Amino acid sequence: MTTEGVESVRDHEPLARYILTASFLYKDNRAGTPLRPNSWIPHPSVELSVFRIEGWQEEQVIAQGEKVASEREAKHRNKILGEGKEYPEDKTTFRYHGRGEIIAREVRSVGLEVLPKEPPPRHADVVNWPPLTGNKKHDESSQMAFAMKLNAKAHFIAAA
């Protein structure tokens, strides 16, 4: 299941999970990563969006993260306004806070898979999550077990 004409994700490739809300970060000064495990849960589906960043300069990785945040913010704003609700011009729900980075091999080591999923260019999905049952508590706990394993193998790079 790859995007036609796109090369498979190799084991050594670094992947970026863009962090677009502060709720994905611990607010205390704990040792280790400030990244919370829930940042790796694929809500509301069973595919987790990541970007393949091998060969990119730091500026390119950040620019992509800012673009993803901007697109997500615009989509959210339009949805809220489309529901007839107010959304102040100065409000920002989604912005680039940084990224979790993990190597594709580490994703595979916990029993998940990484497949290219373009467009946009260099996008991929982490798949093979436990299937959704319709029981929110069960689904979240099943996915959290994998998310905690990913979080333990990842590192966080904060936005400047």
For 24, the token pair is: 């994905």
Q: What is the pLDDT of residues 65-96, one digit of tens each?
A: 999 999 999 999 999 999 999 999 999 999 99
From residue 68, give the alpha-carbon distance in Å to each of 39, 136, 147, 149: 15, 27, 21, 25
Asked whether the predicted pLDDT for residue 144 surpasses 80, the reply is: yes
Do 132 and 46 form a contact (C-beta atoms < 8 A)? Answer: yes
What integer is the mean pLDDT of 140-144?
Answer: 86
What integer is the mean pLDDT of 103-124?
Answer: 96
Looking at residue 1, what is its pLDDT? 41
Dihedral-angle region of residue 97 (phi above 0 means left; psi in -120 to 50 means alpha; beta otherwise) = alpha
Could you tell me the pLDDT band of residue 4, with boundaries at 50, 70 and 90? low
Burial zone of 134 (CB within 10 Å; 0-12 exposed, 13-18 middle, 19+ buried): exposed
Could you tell me the pLDDT band of residue 50, with boundaries at 50, 70 and 90? very high
Looking at residue 6, what is its pLDDT? 78
Residues 64, 70: Cα–Cα separation, whole Å: 10
Asked whether the predicted pLDDT for residue 3 surpasses 60, the reply is: no
